[in-house]
Structure formats: C-alpha cells, structure tokens
Amino acid sequence: MAAKEEKSQNGILETIKTIVYALLLAGLFRSLLFQPFWIPSGSMKSTLLIGDFLFVNKMAYGYSYASCPSVIIPAVGINVDAEDLCGFMKGNNKRLLGGEPQRGDVVVFRHPVTGRDYIKRLIGVPGDRVQMKGGKIILNGTEVPQQTIEPFIEVMGPQGSFKNRPRCSNGAVGDGGDCVKTRTLETLPNGVTHEVLDIGRAYTDDTAVFTVPEGHFFFIGDNRDNSLDSRVKQVQGGVGFVPYEDLIGRADRIMFSSAGRSMLFFWTWRGDRFFKAIN
C-alpha cells in the first residue's frame, strides 16, 4: 500500500510540475514574443472588426516595461498590471533591442494615463506636424491623398461581448438594416495604403496642428469618426502623444474572428478572416 501511495503522490507532483512549467513557458512566450489581443470596439473598422483575435508581435519594437504581461481575472480578484511587475523600468522612455515604428503600422500600446491597451494606426513620428482638415490628414503641410471606393456596409445590431451598435452615415437604421459608411483608400507618404471609414461631420475632422515631440508618436483610428485617439487630449479622454516606452508591439495578422458574443458560437465565425494579414 505504501508503494502505491508513494506512486500516486509522485504522479500528482509530476502533474503539478507539468502545469507550472506550462504556465511559465506560456508566460515567457507572452512576455517576450507575442501577446494575444481581442478587438473589443469598432475604432479600427474596416481593417479590424469587433471579435477579431490577433497576436501582437512584441519583437518588432523591442522591449520596455509595457512588454510585461498584465494578468486580469476579475472573477477571482486577480488584477496584476504590467507596471506592477516591471514598473522599475518605466520613466526613461527607452527600449531594449528597440526598433523604429513606421508610419502605417497598426500598433498596440498602453494608454499613457490609464494603462489600458489600445490599438490604432501610427500616423505621426517624432518631428511630424499632423493636422485634420475636413476629415483628411495634413501631414507636414501636405494633404494625405484619399481615393473613394465602395462603401462599407454592415448589419445593424449589437456587436461583440459589449453589444455595441455601429454608427452609420445613412441615418437611423433599425436592427437588421444596412448600416453604411463612406470608405476611402488612404496612402501615406511611405506608400502604406489602408482603408478609412467616414460617418459624417465630427469634431475631430478639423483640428489644430500637432507637432509630435521627440520620443513620442501620434495615432489615429481607421474608423475616423468613432475613435478616441491622439487627436483628443488625454484630459478630454483621448490618447494624446504616446511615449516610445508605452508601445507593446505591432499587429501583423488576424488569427481568428468571431462576429458573436463568444468565440464558442461557431456559427458566427468569419472564415474569410482567419490568418488574414493586417494592412
């Protein structure tokens, strides 16, 4: 009996060790290489839809305190922030093995004030002058060209786990109706072309000139009239200029996508978005 009990205890111990090793490896993978990210809002439509799931490439820009994982599990009271783990690295606005972000990159970063993860498109690099006029970007005094293409149409109704409803350029639309937005192709000076959506006149369509300070970046969402980004000051709920050290990584590819409230609702999976490159 003693031998059997010892064997059973050894088996339990080995199982626990296996789980611990697996968690350590998963933590190392997430900390150094890639971080999973769900798209919770429509600020990056049509590039990214609510329910898209992607891995953020942390190697693209090197590592800072923001590269440390956050572990938030409200159900069991766990709320460990990246700054709790690696806050000692914060403050010098530098990165280990740092790489230079490029205009047009889709980037996940920490909000400079709240610490929440955001995903937007990089428009302005240090030294750039960025302004919006009539819904178009004026970059260093030159208008960034846009070409109108077919409109973006989605079904009106609650979307994702937060049950957000889209905003439409064709007025009030009932559930099940077509929600339409004007869509253009925008081409940045470095040749990056991406889709931009427009709903109508918005207060962020016309701004003052923003001069991006050294070591900071300027981000805008592709769904221009439904995005709190660098066009809005932090004290007004926006993002403002984002320090280099707050970048987490670059979003390169959508791995999975679900149009439902849960990834388990297989009938809502968007098969055409699996492994889709992010432009």
With b for 16 or more beta-carbon neighbours within 10 A and e for fewer, the 140-179 pattern comes to eeeebebeeeeebebebeebbeeeeebbbeeeebeeeeeb
Candidate list 41, 43, 67, 258, residue with the active-site label: 43
Distance from chain centroid for Cα 197: 17
Nearest to 112 by CA among 202, 203, 217: 217
120 is catalytic: yes
Q: Report CA-CA distances (Å) from 174 to 106, 155, 167.
A: 32, 9, 11
> Is residue 258 annotated as a catalytic residue, yes or no?
no
- Residues written for the chain: 279
**Backbone φ and ψ of 62, nearest 5°:** 80, -160
Contact 231, 204 (CB under 8 A): yes
How far apart, in Å, do the first and last CA atoms of the chain sit?
Answer: 64
Strand partners, 106: 121
Q: Active site residue: 41, 58, 67, 120, which one?
A: 120
Classify 125 as helix, strand or coil: coil
For 53, what's the count of Cα atoms within 13 Å in the CB-facing half-sphere? Answer: 14
Task: Give the DSSP letter of residue 18.
Answer: H
Beta bridge partners of 277: 253
Active site residues: 43, 120
